[in-house]
Structure 1
Amino acid sequence: MEDHMPLVDIRDLKVAFDGVQVLHGVDLTIEKGEAVGLVGESGCGKSVTWLAALGLLPKKATISGQVMLGRDDLVIASQRQLESVRGRRIAMIFQDPSSSLNPVIRVGRQIEEAIGLHRGLTGKAARAEAKRLLELVEIPDAGRRLDNYPHEFSGGQNQRAMIAMALAGNPDILIADEPTTALDATIQAQILDLLARLRAEAGMAVVFISHDLGAVSEICERVCVMYAGRIVERCPTAALFRSPRHPYTRGLFGAIPRLDAGRERLKPVEGTVPEPGKMPRGCAFSPRCGRATEKCRTSLPILSRLEEDCDVACFHPVLEDAPRHSSRKSAEALSMLELI
């Protein structure tokens, strides 16, 4: 009987720029059809992980480890092989659609180009498919809007157009890199609902990269918390919200406004993320951690199983339950959170 094979299996992924290490051995699996959240402060390596996986980093980047897509290792794949993966097997959408769409080309034409590249359709067939994709992402009057330029779309509509382009190749996995950050709370909720619906209908996996724990709670079944180029905690979403075990994760939750907390002050995570190339000898979080001991400052904790389905990289995890945190639908305060 053949062993189970995840959709994507990232093993000991390391990335350096001009000799300065920014990813320090990321291990991450994505199963078919699942939604995984990747959270943490800016610069922790969330986006770099997937840009490295898709071969989209600049030439000065040095990459090691494995990114297994089925039986293919994308780290050692040729550019031709990677081009056959991008958009077809793995698609990616970004935070600011206005910087991804060409301002002087009609939206419909840009979607048709993606359809032609990934599926070989041209002419009327490509236009009909572009119209179908705009309808799929809930753009009203899709046939007419194909002839609009990006500046004639709202921010939310441009993000929907980017999602339509990402779906042009019928990907197995969609990487959504902060897709709601530039949008207001109402449009954010609509985009999240859209992603959840498309995932259910298409059966594709979704990796949701975000600062917003409220958004993650709504769309993801599993969460990986990153800090300074490493995953420090990974757990099913419900368990993470109930009992975050890593002091850093607990600190992130402490910075979330709670509707039932009255005038209680928020508790930010003190200090700053260490600069690449200036990492502490032991745990990278130890200078900011109130639980740190000499062992933390001299030895590196590895990601280890603490409870069922929950892994934590910490010598002194928090074992008591945290105050209950709400999801986006029950606490709109979460949707405005940016943990930067």
Structure 2
Amino acid sequence: MTTNLVELRDLKVSFDGVQVLHGIDLDVGRGEAIGLVGESGCGKSVTWLAALGLLPGKASVSGSVRVEGREILGGARSTQEAVRGGKVAMIFQDPSSSLNPVIRIGRQITEALTLHRGLKGAAAKAEALRLMDMVGIPDARRRIDLFPHEFSGGQCQRLMIAMALAGEPDLLIADEPTTALDATIQAQILDLLIQLRAETGMATVFISHDLGAVSQICERVCVMYAGRIVEQGGIDTLFATPRHPYTRGLFDAIPSLHGERTRLIPIPGTVPDPRHLPEGCAFTPRCSNAVEACRHLRPALTDLPDGSRLACHRPVGTAKAAACHALEGAH
């Protein structure tokens, strides 16, 4: 039996004939915390929405998604529904659009408890109260019958986490869970995720633009660009020596909190339109390190001796110390 909790193999996604995900291979081990980083439009969220069968009907999905060795992609709807919320749960970046505004919070949590654990009545309400206490909702007994608009943004995100935990998942996918929150509340949500993982032993996939947050919560990082993984490695190795020019660019764009103030080095241009990708490496038009091979040959994601993976014809050298210092002081 596989030692991995989830295995994605050659996962591809197209919308109306336009391919946006180009063969993602990714394993998530039991209890592991993985960060998925990259600019908006790189395919981070689409990867997991596709894996869980949450994309709209116009999406075409192929490849393999195995949970505990069992294939769920293309399987019966009942199989996917048993996995979603039970084995794998997902929290989204905007709780205000994920919580039903006309249904009381208690009912929304107990619905998940009934669906995934068969709890009803007083038992379901008692467990809902326990979950609200666990995620730090004050005065849960009084507030369980309130509507979502009667909670703050940070509390709504905590309630989303409580709903995700209702099915006692083995994997929690956190899709930019701190994006809409102020800095203080962001820190509290990150601390909560770290605490819950330590208490429950669940694996975590943390999707984020915030490399500082990723450094706090994850053990391994996957960098995505234009629908592909371009670099992957342990948190210490990748943060100390990012090899892909795109990864290096992400670090160079982080303001340093140490030493003299210097001008940030932005990555020029934008993520390419998936309808008009370059012939070779998709990052070539934005890359100052590109050579002729980059324009015509798409680099394969290959294994490196230190266990990392890289898709690049001309890797860069050691990261600037300032980038690492910036991350150390960011939180």
Band the TM-score falls in, shorter-chain normalisation: over 0.9
Q: Which runs of 5+ in 2 are unaligned?
A: none
Measure how far apart 1:261 and its partner are. Answer: 4.3
Q: Does 1:122 align with 2:120?
A: yes
AA matched with 1:119? R
> Where does 1:100-111 land on structure 2 (aligned, <5 Å)?
100-111=98-109
Q: Does 1:292 align with 2:286?
A: no
SS at match of 2:106: helix
AA matched with 2:78? R
In structure 1, the residue matched to 2:251 is: 253
> Where does 1:116-265 land on structure 2 (aligned, <5 Å)?
116-265=114-263
Equivalent-residue separation in structure 2 for 1:20 and 1:79 (angstroms): 25
In structure 2, the residue matched to 1:21 is: 19
In structure 1, the residue matched to 2:309 is: 311
1:227/1:317 CA distance change after superposition, 3 Å: same
The ranges of structure 1 where at least 4 consecutive aligned residues each deviate by more than 3 angstroms after the TM superposition are 324-330
Measure how far apart 1:327 and its partner are. Answer: 7.4
- Report if the CA contact (8 A) 1:15-1:21 is conserved: yes
Equivalent-residue separation in structure 1 for 2:37 and 2:131 (angstroms): 29
Equivalent-residue separation in structure 1 for 2:204 and 2:140 (angstroms): 25
Cα-to-partner distance string for 1:257-276 (whole Å, 9 max, x where unaligned): 11114220000100111101
SS at match of 1:7: strand
Cα-to-partner distance string for 1:155-178 (whole Å, 9 max, x where unaligned): 110000000000000001000000
TM-score by length of 1: 0.94
Equivalent-residue separation in structure 2 for 1:155 and 1:114 (angstroms): 21
Measure how far apart 1:321 and its partner are. Answer: 3.8
In structure 2, the residue matched to 1:283 is: 281
- Report if the CA contact (8 A) 1:241-1:324 is conserved: no
TM-score by length of 2: 0.97
AA matched with 1:198? L
The percent of aligned pairs where both chains have the same amino acid is: 65
SS at match of 1:206: strand
In structure 2, the residue matched to 1:338 is: none
Measure how far apart 1:323 and its partner are. Answer: 1.9
AA matched with 1:223? V
- Report if the CA contact (8 A) 1:218-1:328 is conserved: no
AA matched with 2:234? P
AA matched with 2:202? M
Equivalent-residue separation in structure 2 for 1:232 and 1:156 (angstroms): 33
Equivalent-residue separation in structure 1 for 2:51 and 2:160 (angstroms): 20
SS at match of 2:205: strand
AA matched with 1:59? G
1:85/1:105 CA distance change after superposition, 3 Å: same
1:177/1:184 CA distance change after superposition, 3 Å: same
AA matched with 1:171? P
AA matched with 1:143? R
Indicate which of 88, 91, 99 corresponds to 2:89: 91
Equivalent-residue separation in structure 2 for 1:290 and 1:328 (angstroms): 23
AA matched with 1:284? A
1:330/1:308 CA distance change after superposition, 3 Å: closer
Equivalent-residue separation in structure 2 for 1:189 and 1:329 (angstroms): 14
Cα-to-partner distance string for 1:145-195 (whole Å, 9 max, x where unaligned): 102211111111000000000000000100000000100111111101100
- Report if the CA contact (8 A) 2:258-2:322 is conserved: no
Equivalent-residue separation in structure 1 for 2:164 and 2:187 (angstroms): 19
Equivalent-residue separation in structure 2 for 1:321 and 1:289 (angstroms): 16
Q: Does 1:269 align with 2:260?
A: no
- Report if the CA contact (8 A) 2:242-2:318 is conserved: no
1:213/1:245 CA distance change after superposition, 3 Å: same
- Report if the CA contact (8 A) 2:252-2:266 is conserved: yes
- Report if the CA contact (8 A) 2:215-2:327 is conserved: no
Measure how far apart 1:73 and its partner are. Answer: 1.4
Cα-to-partner distance string for 1:237-289 (whole Å, 9 max, x where unaligned): 11111111100000000100111142200001001111012010000001110
SS at match of 2:265: coil
AA matched with 2:189? I
